[in-house]
Amino acid sequence: MKKFLKQKMSRLTEIGKLGIEVGSSYIGFETLGSVFSEEGRETLKSNTHLINALRIVEKLGKLKGPLMKAGQILSTFEDYLPSEFIQGLSKLQNQRDPLPFEKVLPTLIQNLKESPFVIFETFEKEAFSAASLGQVHKAVTHSGDLLAVKVQYPGMKEIMESDLDTLKGILSLVVKTISRPFFGNKLSSEEFYSEIKETIYKELDYENELKNIQHYKAFLKDEKRLVIPKPFSEFSGREVLSMEFIPGVTIKNAVLELNEEEKQAIAEYLLRLFIKQILVGKCLHADPHPGNYLYTPDHKIALLDYGCIKYFSDHFIEHYRFLLKGMVYRDRKLLTKGSLGLGIINEPEHLDYFWNHVPEYHLLDPNEGYVVTKEIVLNHVKNMSQYFYQHKVTPHPEFLFYNRALVGLTNFVSSLKVPFRSLLVMKTLLEELE
φ/ψ of 412, rounded to 5, equals -65, -45
Is residue 130 within 8 A of residue 150, CB to CB? The reply is no
Residues 179 and 317 in one domain: no
Closest CA to 192 of 95, 24, 184, 200: 200
**Residue 349 belongs to what domain range?**
249-434
Residues 301 and 169 in one domain: no
Residue 405 confidence (pLDDT): 85
Q: Give the integer Cα–Cα distance in Å for 379 and 232.
A: 45
Residue 142 confidence (pLDDT): 98
Residues 80 and 196 in one domain: yes
Residues 172 and 308 in one domain: no
Residue 147 in domain? no
Q: In order along the chain (434 residues), what is the average pLDDT of each group of 10 residues?
A: 51 62 62 60 66 68 66 67 69 74 96 96 95 92 98 84 70 61 50 75 91 97 97 96 96 93 96 97 82 92 93 96 95 95 91 83 82 83 79 83 85 91 96 94
Q: How many domains does the structure of the chain reveal?
A: 2
Closest CA to 214 of 199, 230, 236: 230
Q: Give the integer Cα–Cα distance in Å for 379 and 357.
A: 7
Residues 393 and 296 in one domain: yes
Residues 309 and 368 in one domain: yes
Residue 107 in domain? no
Residue 419 in domain? yes
* Residue where a domain stops, chosen among 203, 236, 270: 203
* Residue where a domain stops, chosen among 203, 223, 239: 203
Residue 120 in domain? no
Q: Give the integer Cα–Cα distance in Å for 304 and 324.
A: 27
User: pTM of the prediction?
Assistant: 0.81
Residue 333 in domain? yes
Residue 182 confidence (pLDDT): 41
Residue 27 in domain? yes
Residues 254 and 194 in one domain: no
Residue 1 confidence (pLDDT): 44
**Numbers of helices and strands, H then E, in the chain:** 17, 13
Residue 115 in domain? no
Residue 326 in domain? yes
Residue 201 confidence (pLDDT): 84
Residues 31 and 162 in one domain: yes
Q: Give the integer Cα–Cα distance in Å for 424 and 345.
A: 25
Residues 192 and 284 in one domain: no
Residue 391 confidence (pLDDT): 83
Residue 336 confidence (pLDDT): 96
Residue 16 confidence (pLDDT): 61
Tell me the sheet residues that pair with 136.
Answer: 129, 150
